[in-house]
Amino acid sequence: KNEAADLVYHLLVLLSEKEISLSEVVRVLEKRHKR
């Protein structure tokens, strides 16, 4: 659990630095899933 929490935390930090919202990531994943 701790490793997963670390991964999510660092992902959110990276997304914030790149000015990418989590909702944008979700949209990309949804688009890929529909293919």
pLDDT of residue 29: 96
Q: Where are the domains of the chain?
A: 2-33
Write the pLDDT tens digit of every residue in 1-35. Answer: 999 999 999 999 999 999 999 999 999 999 999 97
What is the spatial distance between Cα 35 and Cα 9, in angstroms, rounded to a whole number? 29
pTM, two decimal places:
0.73
What is the spatial distance between Cα 2 and Cα 19, in angstroms, rounded to a whole number? 25
Contact 11, 21 (CB under 8 A): no
